[in-house]
Structure 1
Amino acid sequence: MDAEARWRILRLHVEDQIPLAAVARESGVPARTLASWLARYRKAGAAGLDVSYRSDIGQRRTSPEPIRLVEGLALSRSRPSIATLHRLVTERAIGHGVPAPSYSTVRRIVGGLDPAMVTLAIDGPTSYRDKHELVLRRRATRPNQVWQADHTMLDIIIGGADGKPDRPWLTVILDDYSRAICGYMVFSGAPSAMNTALALRQAIWLKPDPAWAMCGVPDVLHVDHGSDFISHHLEHATRDLHVRIIHSTVGRPQGRGKVERFFGTINTELLATLPGHLAAGAESVPTLRLPELDQAVRVFIGSYNGRSHREIKTSPHDAWIGDGWLPRLPDSLEALDGLLLTVPTSRVVQRDAVHFLCHTSVR
């Protein structure tokens, strides 16, 4: 396998932020091999992926076999001490008639191992994922490069359409770079592909409120493995919009940590102030209806987008606007509806009485 082929595989982790373990499963390349490639890439860039690349340039040469033996033992779960490593490799070198490396050389080889590769080999993939995966720690470099989408059941009881108490859901579309909320939907019942499509429709298209400037088509959409996120409906729509969907590892919100934190913010800052909030030891009386809760969430999102964010030191709105740029938009709202909202009967889903999304004229 040449350097270019290695990079095509490794870039799924480096650029697309797919966990290394997932890349190993899909590509068939062992996770330890991928970790070695990653270590070489971090040290020397793309040149490090070439088979002729040498990591010991400018250093005293050591025969390849003792180096491989040192690295193999140092990456074993029963990792021996440096002194034991030196003794074992010396015995092996003498047996093969090659020069034995010095104690300092063995120590240098062990010290030069990439920490991520050591963690993967000794502590296993779970520890590696927690310590070294890029997805939770890496911020997109520009607006609309990466969006995160997720649902949560809200900690509030409202009056349902049938008059019975109902616990609603919230879908949120968040821009990774700016932390801006680009779209949302409050609804009753379990999450569905259509609810997700409605939230995406609002996130992508121009809003009637000029203060809510976020719009456009993202390059990447981080989602989980919920049935709505893996539906053929959403898959076809995002494919035609040229959006790449990345699914996080099952049971772990990698790539969606920021939207998870927003859910915590809306629960503590908004829902706790509303009647019907589910608080420990308190009786929840369903007072609000879905349209009233939707309006409260909309006002809160406007406030959230406009206030300074602790991590990025500016407001999500200002971070998304930046120095001014043109987002990628569909040709028309009708074209967007045709992709996102068309159901098998070839009809287009219209707005309900909540007026959560509204048809705006094409500018």
Structure 2
Amino acid sequence: MTTVLWQLGEVLDLVVGGHATRYRILGRTGDGLNLIGETDSRAQFVLESELCRMWAAGEARRVRDPKDVLNREQRLFVSRSMDTMTASERAHANWLAPYLMAMKRVKKRIGPSSRRKLEELIDRVAAEKGHARKPSWRTVGHHFRQMQLPGADGRWLAPRVSARGNRTARYGGFEAIIEKVLREQVLIPNRRPLTLVHAHLQRELDAYRAAAPSGERVAPKIDVRTVQRRVSMFQANEKVAAWHGPNAARRKHRPVGAGPEADWPQQRVEIDHHLLDVLVTHPKTGTVLGRPWLTVAIDKFSRMIVGLHVGFEEPGDLTVMLCLRQAIKPKVQMLRDYEMPVDAWPCQGLPETIVVDNGPEFHSSSLDDATTQLGIDVLYCATRTPEQKGSIERWFGSLSTGLIHALPGTTKSNTVARGEYKSEKEAVLTIAELRELIVRWVVGEYSIRVHEGFKGIPLDQWRQGVAAHPVALPTEVEDLDVLLSPTEERTLTRQGVRLHGLHYSTNHRRLGELLNAHDKPDKSVIKFDPSDLGEVRLLDWQMNRFLPLRCLQFEYADGLTLREHQEVTNCARDKLDEGGRLYESDLLAHRGWMSGKIDELNARGKLKGRRAARFSGADEGVAPVRPRKSVPAPEAGDALGLPDPSNDDDDEFADLGITIQTIR
């Protein structure tokens, strides 16, 4: 065992049983040290090997300045690492150290009070080091004596200028008044000028002085510069929170750390929306329609994009479900349509957790039902916390700089970046072309380049992850299409159901059985596709499956979008006959008139923006068209041969005083 130099009288803090006890070294006995407790004066013998082990493990700490030579501020100063000191403080310590080292090297000890010998030593060291400035012999002697104290080291040589000065409050008992007034006048949203704050503070101090008993200290006079200095001493995040709100303070001043991570593919999928910085045009007329929304799902484990949706629909539960549907399904058919390798985008499978925004538009029973059945946990982010979806936020930036800002018709990120570029004149892309470009960029560039986050390639990361942890798929793809569709509740009558003012029914005998069932609910669950109102699905509450229902006005509703139907019905209000009756022929006529009018206005450039896209059908991304099953066409009028007009309170036409009658 190597013998360690422990100084006589050195103080140690030993941690035993989680508690630190202070001991002083009395001497050495054999291979150990004799210690005595500072508080209880109990003697203790410790093997030197055990003491070294405790020191290496942090259980024994050598106490600096046990004789209290330094004051509190100085003691804190010498406890700092040299790396935390200023450049001038480190330079002074490094300049002084060679003189003390030389005193330790001389064979014959030089006393710290021997002026002649110290001056000779100082001259010799200064000549060796080339120092133009030399310390005085008193300075060297003083520091040499301090370096002999237990716990002293080279940090004691640094000038302790920052530890000097008065640490007591300048204004004594008035500090509380000054602090209170400054916080009330400055840390508010409509903060006041410092001159007014200074005047108000002085009035408060004068009032306190007038009310104080005689003999107490007179209130001090404070100038504007003191007020300015005190305000500057408030914490930056505290001032930003008071002036601009807590969210601004959190974004600007909260430390940025690593976000949640995932250990395998589809464990955590983040879904977010972005208004693309590019204008798209109508596929037929070339009219500028506006900027579409992009909804993206990214796998946190591999950073692969597992699903995306491009359309003019505002972000909400519908866009989340459409994006989630593509994220779960294989992408083979899409890649074939784009003539790309079918294995270039292998992402599919059920995510375990999806992270979405917390707005009211993202809370719906349809999304809750779908995620519950599929076993997906939905995590709603707190408002204004983009760091909870940091991966996808950064991805939008990469997409903009890597693709969108290079496309014709881009609007850039702001007017400054756009400059004199005429976005509307240069816009030529349709939404279908934009969707293909985004898919090609995701598959052909983003997925196969090194990701800065984990220094790997997303596609390789995905393939390695699914090899060790395979992803799950739903039992049936039809279940997925039904689940990830909007849900409504309507009354089931002998005419079937009414949804958005349209009748839906079928000749299937099962509908009659449900209609006459003893347990028929007041409201039945309906699933519909917003991109095609020709068919809906009625929940068979007894068989626990969905029954397809066809629209009685099928010629009108086949391929009709919900947005188009709403526009048609709004225009049809002015075409009612005297009896307030709206016929199917009227609906077909108005649908044709609206379609022609849209083409005319698009050609003349008078109908722009996402409203035109929603109506004209240019928004191909509203919802995918699912394969239609063969549904028996119901007879005109009552599908069951029981003509009895329904009186549904939810009927939109009924609210307008309109009755739909089908003409044979």
| TM-score (norm: length of structure 2) | 0.34
Alignment correspondent of 2:330? 206
CA contact (8 A) 2:403 2:441 kept: yes
Alignment-derived partner of residue 266 in structure 1? 399
Corresponding residue for 1:224? 357
**TM superposition shift of 1:349:** 5.5
> What is the alpha-carbon distance in structure 1 between the residues aligned to residue 626 and residue 482 of structure 2?
13
CA contact (8 A) 2:318 2:486 kept: no
- Cα separation, 1, equivalents of 2:295 and 2:310: 7
Match of 1:58 among 18, 25, 31: 18
Query: Please, which runs of 5 or more residues in structure 1 have no aligned partner?
Result: 1-54, 62-81, 85-121
Cα 1:182/1:228, change in 2 over 3 Å: farther
Q: Which has the higher strand share?
A: 2
Give the 5 Å matches for 1:169-318: 169-208=293-332, 209-279=342-412, 280-281=418-419, 282-285=421-424, 286-303=427-444, 304-318=446-460
Residue pair 2:259, 2:387 contacting (<8 A) in 1 also: no
Partner secondary structure for residue 206 of structure 1: coil
Q: 2: CA distance between counterparts of 1:170 and 1:241?
A: 24
Higher RCO (CA-CA < 8 Å; seq separation 6+): 1
TM-superposed CA distance for 1:317, in Å, is 1.2
Which residue of structure 2 aligns with residue 321 of structure 1?
463
Paired with 1:264 and 1:166, the residues of 2 have a C-alpha distance of 20
Query: Is residue 153 of structure 1 aligned with residue 275 of structure 2?
Result: yes
Verify the 8 A CA contact 1:228 1:234 in the aligned structure 2: no
Distance 1:164 1:275, change over 3 A: closer
CA gap of 1:181–1:59, structure 2 versus 1, over 3 A, is same
Q: What is the distance in 2 between the residues matched to 1:301 and 1:337?
A: 25
1:337–1:348 CA contact under 8 A, matched in 2: no
Conserved 8 A contact 1:185-1:199: yes
* 1:359–1:178 distance in 2 versus 1, CA, 3 Å: farther
**1:138 partner amino acid:** P
Q: How does 1:39-188 map to 2 (within 5 A)?
A: 57-60=17-20, 136-160=258-282, 163-188=287-312
Q: Distance in 2 between matches of 1:358 and 1:316?
A: 30
The answer on whether the counterparts of 2:365 and 2:487 sit within 8 Å (CA) in structure 1 is no
> How far apart, in 1, do the equivalents of 2:322 and 2:308 lie?
8
Supply the AA of the counterpart residue of 1:191: P
TM-score by length of 1: 0.60
Contact 2:482 2:527 in 1 (8 A): no
Find 1:334's aligned residue among 459, 468, 478: 478
Going from structure 1 to structure 2, the CA distance change for 1:157 and 1:248 (only over 3 Å counts) comes to same
Identity of aligned residues (%): 30
| Alignment RMSD | 3.3
TM-fit CA distance, 1:59: 2.2
Q: Distance in 2 between matches of 1:350 and 1:319?
A: 36
Task: Report the alpha carbon displacement of residue 251 of structure 1 after superposing the two structures with TM.
Answer: 1.2
Structure 1 CA distance for aligned equivalents of residues 373 and 306 of structure 2: 20
The alpha-carbon distance between structure 1 residues 334 and 56, as it changes in their structure 2 partners (threshold 3 A), is farther
Which secondary structure state, in structure 2, belongs to the residue aligned with residue 225 of structure 1?
A: coil
**8 Å contact from structure 2 (residues 531, 625) kept in 1:** no
- The question of whether the paired residues in 2 share the 8 Å contact of 1:196 and 1:228 is answered with no
Render the CA deviation track for 1:311-334: whole Å, top value 9, x for unaligned: 222211111111513201111211
Max Rg structure: 2
Secondary structure in 1 matching 2:296? strand
Alignment match, 2:149: none
Secondary structure of 1:172's match?
strand
